Amino acid sequence: MALTKIALDSARQQKAQEYNKLSRRLLFLELGISILLLLVLLFTGTSAMLASLLTFPFPWAASLYLLILALGFGVIMSPLSYYQDFVLPHRYGLSTQALSHWLRDRAKASALGLLLGLCLVIIIYGLMEYLPTLWWLVSTLTMILLSLLLTWLTPTFLIPLFFKLKPLDEGELKGKLLNLTKRARVNIKNVLTMNLSSKATTANAMLSGWGKSRRVIISDTLLQGYSHDEIEATLAHELGHHLHHDIAKLMAIQAVIFLLALYLTNLALKAGVVLFSLQGINDLAGLPWLILVLAGFILISQPLLNWYHRRIELAADKAALELSNNPQAFVDLMTKLTDQNLSEAEPSKWVKLLFYDHPTYNERIKLAHDYVVIASRSPERSEGAAK
């Protein structure tokens, strides 16, 4: 039986194209300003002057340098951040958050980012001083451990800092979802709901954490606007990630990226000693250079990372179709999410290459149609695929 494809809302797609184009332009503007500021610090001698004023013992000098850098960048970039993260989502109806609440969340995120940055700077520059030849290798191991810790803390500590989480209410839906986990032979103890509607109009679901902290989290906006079959397809997608051990795979990829990035940074810092007249690779005046090299490597590797992410997301989609055996619900889910979240159904090739870590809408719909064709040849699946 052929699938009934719900047409995307043309008005929403027009808004999606406008919104995403503006967002990308603002992102490029933010990136350009950041690179320019870091280069100014290096080539005008401002970074060397600031480092020379910080005569405190390690790690206080490194911490204070980063604090000054973060404060300066925060002040300079605040108008752009306000427009990008508050004005634009409100203009396109994606956010309902009051300014005071947005500022509070911004402060929390900034504090967490600064705390993580301080830890990394202290670790990296401490290792540069005591292990100048192998600092990049030990730093990689340390960053992997930090990454594991943050992944473990995400559903139990980080997300609750911004959203209220609670167990899914007892009822028909919970029973349906628990039956799905049994069929998948996956032990997910907690399916939680997140009050996303308190801040946004979008809908989302995720598999977060690892080991005993692993949780499936479904936004209340998904519960409010989607059928039980569509929500089951959502959970089936998240279970697909679990069955394929995707979190472990992504951690392994992340570890390789850390290793390559820090090794190249070590080489770049040695070159920077001559280029910027640094006292050594652990000279604080070279911190902007370290940030530039790391950011540059991440930017260069992003298309490859996006490609890998799209592969595992498409594999999770395939698992969702197999677990739920309801391709119509999958198509309906993807259509409604694309409209609600202002996602572009088919972005240009370069946009997909640089920005998309999920398959496009058209790719996902094609996958569902292919599933129906294959299922029609299998008596065991035909009945479910015809629903």
Please report, for residues 145, 307, 333, the alpha-carbon distance to residue 74 in angstroms, rounded to integers and kept in the order given: 28, 32, 39
CB 308 within 8 A of CB 358: no
Residue 1 has a pLDDT of: 55
pTM over 0.85: yes
Sign of CA dihedral 229, 231, 237, 243: negative
Nearest to 155 by CA among 105, 99, 212: 212
CB 314 within 8 A of CB 368: no
- Confidence (pLDDT) at 379: 60
Between CA 295 and CA 306 the distance in angstroms is 16
Task: Point out which residues pair with 95 in neighbouring strands.
Answer: 200
Given a cut of 50, is residue 133 above it in pLDDT? yes
- Whether 384 shows a pLDDT value over 60: the answer reads no
Mean pLDDT (whole number) for 318-342: 95
Q: Indicate the SS3 state at residue 347.
A: coil
How many percent of the chain have pLDDT more than 90? 77
Span 80-95, average pLDDT: 96
pLDDT at 387 over 50: no
For the chain, what is the mean pLDDT?
A: 91
- State the chain's maximal CA–CA distance in angstroms: 76
Report percent pLDDT > 70 for the chain: 97
Task: Please compute the mean of the pLDDT values over residues 112-122 and round it to a whole number.
Answer: 93
pLDDT of res. 380: 57
pLDDT score of 377: 78
| DSSP label of 45 | S
Residues in the chain, overall count: 387
**Sign of the C-alpha dihedral, residues 337, 184, 305, 369?**
negative
Type and span of the H or E element at 217: strand 215-219
Q: In whole angstroms, what separates CA 366 from the centre of its chain?
A: 25
For the cut 70, the answer to whether the pLDDT of residue 227 exceeds it is yes
Mean pLDDT, rounded, for 135-152: 92
